[in-house]
Amino acid sequence: MFNFSCDYTEGCAPEILQSLTATNMEQTAGYGEDPHCQHARELIKEACGREDAEVHFFIGGTQANLNIILNCLDRPYYGLFATTASHVNTHEAGAIERTGHKVMTIPSVNDKLTAEGVEKAYQHWLIDPSRTHIVEPKLVYISQPTESGTMYSKQELTDLYAVCQKHDLYLFVDGARLGYGLCAPTNDVSLPDLAQLCDVFYIGGTKCGALLGEAAVLLNPKLKKGFFTLMKQGGAVLAKGRVVGIQFETLFTNNLYRQICQNGMDSALKIKAVLREKNIPLYIDSPSNQQFPILSKAAYEKLSRQFELGVWAYLDDGRLVVRICTSWATKPEAVTAIIQAIKEL
Amino acid sequence: MFNFSCDYTEGCAPEILQSLTATNMEQTAGYGEDPHCQHARELIKEACGREDAEVHFFIGGTQANLNIILNCLDRPYYGLFATTASHVNTHEAGAIERTGHKVMTIPSVNDKLTAEGVEKAYQHWLIDPSRTHIVEPKLVYISQPTESGTMYSKQELTDLYAVCQKHDLYLFVDGARLGYGLCAPTNDVSLPDLAQLCDVFYIGGTKCGALLGEAAVLLNPKLKKGFFTLMKQGGAVLAKGRVVGIQFETLFTNNLYRQICQNGMDSALKIKAVLREKNIPLYIDSPSNQQFPILSKAAYEKLSRQFELGVWAYLDDGRLVVRICTSWATKPEAVTAIIQAIKEL
Amino acid sequence: MFNFSCDYTEGCAPEILQSLTATNMEQTAGYGEDPHCQHARELIKEACGREDAEVHFFIGGTQANLNIILNCLDRPYYGLFATTASHVNTHEAGAIERTGHKVMTIPSVNDKLTAEGVEKAYQHWLIDPSRTHIVEPKLVYISQPTESGTMYSKQELTDLYAVCQKHDLYLFVDGARLGYGLCAPTNDVSLPDLAQLCDVFYIGGTKCGALLGEAAVLLNPKLKKGFFTLMKQGGAVLAKGRVVGIQFETLFTNNLYRQICQNGMDSALKIKAVLREKNIPLYIDSPSNQQFPILSKAAYEKLSRQFELGVWAYLDDGRLVVRICTSWATKPEAVTAIIQAIKEL
Amino acid sequence: MFNFSCDYTEGCAPEILQSLTATNMEQTAGYGEDPHCQHARELIKEACGREDAEVHFFIGGTQANLNIILNCLDRPYYGLFATTASHVNTHEAGAIERTGHKVMTIPSVNDKLTAEGVEKAYQHWLIDPSRTHIVEPKLVYISQPTESGTMYSKQELTDLYAVCQKHDLYLFVDGARLGYGLCAPTNDVSLPDLAQLCDVFYIGGTKCGALLGEAAVLLNPKLKKGFFTLMKQGGAVLAKGRVVGIQFETLFTNNLYRQICQNGMDSALKIKAVLREKNIPLYIDSPSNQQFPILSKAAYEKLSRQFELGVWAYLDDGRLVVRICTSWATKPEAVTAIIQAIKEL
């Protein structure tokens, strides 16, 4: 049975296993101070066009989010703006609140924050006569692609960052699925663009072909002080830091990251095309590797007998929003099979 | 140049890479709910003789320590007893305090807490007339082997646990180097013994042949409620949980864990023997894979030209306490070379 | 100029100053263990009809809220349900999040949570397939009267508490303005009723005639363990605990609390009556000591030349929601004056 | 029975009750923005000779300590140096750790930190090769007088502050008993001196004649940003802020603070003189309002039949360290009585 429930069902790109095997008995320093981590950092900074960036490796998204956000929110009463559906507001079991900070949800359009929305929410705080009794917004958290697969255009990101800079708000971009986003045909935000349009972001590895790992790219100089120690304190530092370093070294050599993610994108768009052909309504118009058809219970159950799928939401009319997720590892035969099954719904 | 500075300089046991490669394209559930994690849990519970235990996988020691301790300390004013040299008190950058709890150091003998010491410290709290204004001790943290390689005997552990149980204190054993401890010729605490003599412990993978990972074994039923969600909130859960599961599955198949750690122990004892022969004083009499000779600056520098060594402490008389650390990966030729060099000091 | 902006503009009921003066040179134990605190506790338990309750004194509402909530939420991943407008969600600068816990807002009716709303929100969590990745609701926070003056009927409270008990959720009632609520003609929830219909609540002193202080009444036995030490750790314990104890002793002798709050209620209803006569729209139909007329900018400015008023909200059409707040200390001539001024609008 | 167990057994200086009564029905703004708080702030800044200071009022010592320290420690991995016997390390139930930060105890002389001790501890951190894995010291906490009544000379304080400034460490002086210290005949640190020799300190009210309250004086400009909101978030702000403001306004008018504390000092020195005459050993040579005679169990019990005394410590030889504490409120007849009783021991 093919599994389309998420993009972390397999291990990793075979090249990564080869690298891990080839380097296995090298003796290196721990805690990310080894040559592979150093090389990976150089490759990433080069790919971003930001030699001044500082790169740190995390083992996963929640770990990255909570430490990056805690690093930005350096007064206890600072909070962040995010969408209601954002990962930090929903599926991290209160990780941000455990660090002591409030996630403040503001309205979104297609699960994206807008420059106008952030401006309005910020002004709302600014003019409040009891402003000093209220959490002060200090960071805007977005994801690219978002949790439901939508993406910020270069213009949208430029506008959003301008509002953030105007009000001294940090902009943090969660790139857990960035690899797929970069491959999306409609995408106009390159990695170097992104590295100019926010204060900190991370490049997802776990969902994009690594065994584990996310590469955080710190751009704003104010965010660099003591970041390693903050990570260490959060339990985020691997003794064998090279385990993640070698993976990013491999992914950022010969463009492997883009190359393997392309398969996830291509597969998703083929499935999207047949959903459209069949006039199956889509919950949201996602240009990336997650597609969200709205299915009747019967159609969902029929499809589920052949494929593992995610359930995104239960609608009041009995229908389900289903998540079909592809990845670097999705096999052509799996795509063919699900396309055929959708046609036969 | 051979590196004896720590036991996490290499990658992992080759069998682990083989397992990761063999299972790489399997599609499994995430977050540790896959068959490999389940199998690893069964193997560990069997090795511990505790079918009732609950096993969770962490990515490293600080992560394990902070989440296990936070889980135990379920009132904000609870604190823990530990040695001054304990990892949680020194090299975790305040990870436990970041969770809101106080590490209270009490006297130790050979870097080990004693039943008498814990009893005395507890009584000190209990009879204090302002007891309700003071942090309440609720957990005793020890490591086996300790940070300086010493080990608890079965009798010492039995006595310590009796005091803990008498006063409703949890006993948590950090087993980051447990593999070497189990192989120590003088050790009389088996894995099933340990699993009877504490409330929670973890089996170290990172320092004992894995790429990364520690297996926490929750024994006391009170500690099991909601542990996964607490880990998730702490950013301690891998989306591809199997990355650690497969490693423990491999290490606990055919006794591999013990088998590979034996090399670390054998190597350390050969080096210890020659240090004794040369009448080089030892900082502490360690029966496990870390040895701590006290060297003159000249001797240290001479040895350092050939080997990477750790510096444990600077003595007031100018001498250094040096750490020589062996592991599953220590090569016979490295042991031969350092023995020769010590002889020539 | 008369000040109607809030109910904490004056000092305290003169009887309290008399008590403080009369007892001033008595020598007593500190930290709330003196005879006055003990007597005040007995009087409060008697007034509540709950001899089994445990009473603790706080210096203010935010202090009470954060410690009571932290006490209830004894797992790091527990969160609470509250209205969007609730004090803990808005005007405490993130006090609850600083303790590590998430405030989850759910829909309200007249600023009140409903049994149905809590049931629905709880079910939403319960059926979520990724429930273990999500904050677990464990407490429902309401205020009586609410932040906008509305009140729970006995039936509403009974229904709400039934849902809470069904799902093992604590119900905490913030009674910062409880004194006025108890005097409201439409109120059918007596103090003994309230003490049967929640797990913990507090009786407001600061806004109801005391210099400072709130009396927390712990009803659920699970909430009593170690509460003093938790307060001490939070900096919530006064060395001269009697300063609050004497005030509550005075307020709960000869029914003084009710007697002085009656003036606040009577004054508010007189003002409400004239607002209705003049057909001035009310933002919300408040039966207690806060009234919220919607005024044109001109009317507001005219009134503001004579009286200090609060601004509750700015409407999109340019009008303002104004807060007129009365209290135990509101003078008859102030009420007469504002009634006359409203008539002349 | 006269009570010498502590300096918070009575209410407050009668002048304070007069001020509270005289101002009781004034209508003022809340949260410390009233004219009395403003006036008190001006008086305190004048007394300190620091017009640039920012003054905030707390309700007690633990509340002041935890918020001031949290304000200074603006990175999660920052910690503080303090003596083992310091209030923040012992009698605040882990308040500092609850804010996420580690209290690091270092050796003291007469319960005082020394410039040399801080230098040594700082260097110890600085040269540690694993410095980035360790809590970074950022603040030095001392009290004047100390918990056991000893006092820093102007030279000691100057040296200590020089070390702090050299290493970018904040110096915070807890002045819970400052009033007595200022009156001590041996004291050479005036209020304006103190206000030049640290970054932040507070002037104790609770133990020095107020019902409650401590006045924090923020000197270092870096510490002023957002302090009110941090206090609000910690539940440290009184709605009727004037309750503390009026007290400090009174205490700092006509030198009342010094005047009333003088009685505490004079009483203590009379008792100390007779202890010396009787050759009763003193635990520590305290120049301020707390004296610590070492008594046999029999002597302690004899004295306890007439006076309430504190027990500071139980010695191994069966003797007790007893605390005799005087205050602004100590009556002459109480002093006469205890002197007579000591003579008769």
Beta bridge partners of D136: D78
- To the nearest whole Å, the CA of A308 is away from the closest chain C CA by 14
Residue of B nearest to D125 (CA): B90
- Give the torsion sign (CA, D245, D249, D250, D252): positive
Q: Are D131 and D74 in contact (CB under 8 A)?
A: no
> At a CB cut-off of 8 Å and minimum separation 6, what does A68 contact?
A172, A200, A202, A216
Paired tokens of B267:
């190597």
Name B343's bridge partners. Answer: none
Residue B136's pLDDT band (cuts 50, 70, 90): very high
User: What residues pair up with B325 in beta bridges, in sequence order?
Assistant: B290
- Tokens for C211, please give them: 């210099």
Please judge whether C79 and A100 are an interchain contact, meaning their C-beta atoms are less than 8 angstroms apart. no
Comparing alpha-carbon positions, the chain C residue that sits nearest to D62 is: C235
Task: Find chain C residues with C-beta within 8 A of D12's C-beta.
Answer: 24
Task: Report d(CA B291, CA B270) in Å as an integer.
Answer: 11
Peptide bond preceding A145: is omega within 30 degrees of 0, i.e. cis? yes
Average pLDDT, stretch B83-108?
97
The verdict on a CB contact (< 8 Å) between B92 and D133 is yes
Tokens coding C314: 């700015």
Provide the pLDDT for residue C303: 97
Asked if C98's CB is within 8 angstroms of D233's CB, the reply is yes
CB contact under 8 A, C77 and A92: no
Average pLDDT over residues D210-225: 98
Q: Are C318 and C338 in contact (CB under 8 A)?
A: no
Smallest CA–CA distance, residue B36 to chain C, in Å, is 20
- Joined together, the tokens standing for residue C330 give 């509101």
Predicted local confidence at residue B225, as pLDDT: 96
Average pLDDT over residues A299-310: 97
Rounded to a whole number of angstroms, the distance from the CA of B2 to the nearest CA of chain A is 8
Mutation target to probe the B interface, by most B beta carbons within 10 A, among D73, D86, D97, D128 is D97
CA distance D89 to B104: 10
Spell out the alpha helix ranges (H) of chain A.
Answer: 14-22, 35-48, 61-72, 87-90, 95-98, 115-127, 154-166, 178-183, 191-194, 227-233, 242-251, 256-277, 297-304, 332-343
Q: Give strand pairing partners of C142.
A: C173
When scoring C5, C97, C243 by the number of chain D Cβ atoms within 10 A, the one with the most, hence best to mutate, is C243
The Cα D182–Cα D203 span in angstroms is 11
> Where does the pLDDT of residue D163 fall: very low under 50, low under 70, confident under 90, or very high at 90 and above?
very high
Decide if B93 and D130 are in contact by the 8 Å CB cutoff: no
Residues of chain C contacting residue A129, judged by C-beta atoms under 8 Å apart: 311
C158-177 pLDDT tens trace: 999 999 999 999 999 999 99
Given an 8 Å threshold on Cβ–Cβ distance, is C102 in contact with A97?
A: yes
Give pTM, 2 decimals: 0.97
| Neighboring chain B residues of D94 at a CB cutoff of 8 Å | 76-77, 79, 100-102, 135
pLDDT of residue A12: 98
Confidence of residue A270 (pLDDT cuts 50, 70, 90): very high
Q: D interface mutation test: which of C212, C306, C323, C327 has the most D CBs within 10 A?
A: C212
Long-range interactions of A295-303: CB distance < 8 A, separation 24+: A295/A319, A295/A320, A295/A322, A295/A345, A296/A320, A299/A345, A302/A341, A302/A345, A303/A338, A303/A341, A303/A342, A303/A345
Nearest to A93 among B6, B59, B233 (CB): B233
Contacts with D307 from chain C: Cβ below 8 Å: none
Q: B158 vs chain C: nearest CA distance in angstroms?
A: 30
Among chain D residues, the shortest Cα distance to A232 is held by D133
Three-state SS sequence of A143-188: ECCCCCCCCCCHHHHHHHHHHHHHCCCEEEEEECCHHHHHHCCCCC
CA distance B127 to A2: 64
Give the mean model confidence (pLDDT) for residues A221-232. Answer: 98
- Mutation site, B73, B135, B231, B233, interface C, largest C CB count within 10 A: B233
**Min CA distance, D229 vs chain A (Å)?**
5
* Site from C67, C77, C228 to mutate, B interface, most B CB atoms within 10 angstroms: C77
pLDDT at A187: 98
Contact A251, A12 (CB under 8 A): no
| Number of residues in chain D | 345
Closest CA to A156 of A108, A204, A199: A108
Which of D12, D28, D21, D40 is CA-nearest to residue D239? D28
User: Closest approach of chain B CAs to the CA of D87, in angstroms?
Assistant: 10
Interface partners of chain D (CB pairs < 8 Å, 3 or more) are A, B, C
Q: Give the span between the Cα atoms of C5 and D29, in whole angstroms.
A: 9
Inter-chain contact A229–B30, Cβ cutoff 8 Å? no
Q: Specify the pLDDT at position C119.
A: 98
Which residues in chain B are closer than 8 Å to C31, comparing Cβ atoms?
A: 133
- Span D329-340, mean pLDDT? 98
Q: Within a 13 Å sphere around the CA of C244, how many CA atoms are in the beta-carbon half?
A: 27
Q: Give the separation between CA B163 and CA B175, rounded to whole angstroms.
A: 21
Interchain pair D74, A75: CB under 8 A = yes
Closest by alpha carbon to C55, among C70, C71, C36, C42?
A: C42
Task: Determine the Cα–Cα distance for residues A198 and A203; give it in Å rounded to an integer.
Answer: 13
Does D100 sit within 8 Å of A229, measured CB to CB? no
At B247-300, the pLDDT tens digits run: 999 999 999 999 999 999 999 999 999 999 999 999 999 999 999 999 999 999
The reply to whether residue B77 touches residue C225, judged by beta carbons under 8 angstroms, is no
The nearest alpha carbon in chain C to D64 belongs to C235
Instruction: Report the alpha-carbon distance of residue D205 to residue D251 in Å, rounded.
Output: 9
Q: How many CB pairs under 8 A join B and D?
A: 58
- The CA distance from B79 to the nearest CA of chain D, in Å, is 8
How much is the pLDDT for B273?
98
Nearest to D62 by CA among A240, C212, C234: C234
Closest CA relative to residue A259, chosen from A187, A182, A325: A182
Beta strands in B144-270 (DSSP E): 170-175, 200-204, 214-218
* DSSP E strand boundaries for B129-267: 136-143, 170-175, 200-204, 214-218
The contacts of residue C183 (CB under 8 Å, 6+ apart) are C258, C261, C262, C264, C265
Q: Say how many Å lie between the first and final Cα of chain A, rounded.
A: 18
CA distance D204 to chain A (A): 25
Q: Using the Cα atoms of residue C147, residue C153, residue C156 and residue C162 in order, give the sign of their dihedral.
A: positive
**Nearest CB partner across the interface for C132, out of B76, B232, B234:** B232
CB contact under 8 Å between B102 and D90, yes or no, is no
The CA-based angle B157-B158-B164, given to 5 degrees, is: 85
| Residue D172 bridge partners (DSSP) | D141, D200
Residues B35, A327: Cα–Cα separation, whole Å: 21
Query: Given an 8 Å threshold on Cβ–Cβ distance, is B93 in contact with D77?
Result: yes
Using CB atoms, which residue from A10, A94, A237 is nearest to B233? A94
The set of residues, in sequence order, having a beta carbon less than 8 Å from that of C294 and lying 6+ positions away, is C280, C281, C282, C283, C315, C319, C320, C321, C322
User: What is the tens place of the pLDDT at every residue in B175-233?
Assistant: 999 999 999 999 999 999 999 999 999 999 999 999 999 999 999 999 999 999 999 99
- Give the relative orientation of helices C115-126 and C154-166 as an angle to the nearest 10 degrees: 20
Q: Which residues of C touch D57 (CB under 8 A)?
A: none
Query: What is the band of D137 on the pLDDT scale with cuts at 50, 70, 90?
Result: very high
DSSP one-letter code for D155:
H
Q: From the candidates A130, A233, A237, A238, which should be mutated to test the interface with D, based on the most D CB atoms within 10 A?
A: A233
pLDDT band at C332 (very low <50, low <70, confident <90, very high): very high
| Chains B & C: contacts with CB separation below 8 Å | 50
**3-state class of D296 per DSSP?**
coil
**Per-residue pLDDT tens over the stretch B147-166:** 999 999 999 999 999 999 99
| CB-count exposure of residue D333 (10 Å: 0-12, 13-18, 19+) | exposed
For chain C, strand residue ranges (E) read 2-3, 54-58, 78-82, 103-105, 136-143, 170-175, 200-204, 214-218, 290-291, 294-295, 307-308, 310-314, 320-325
Distance between B222 CA and the closest CA of chain A, angstroms: 21
B276 HSE (CA, 13 A, CB side): 10
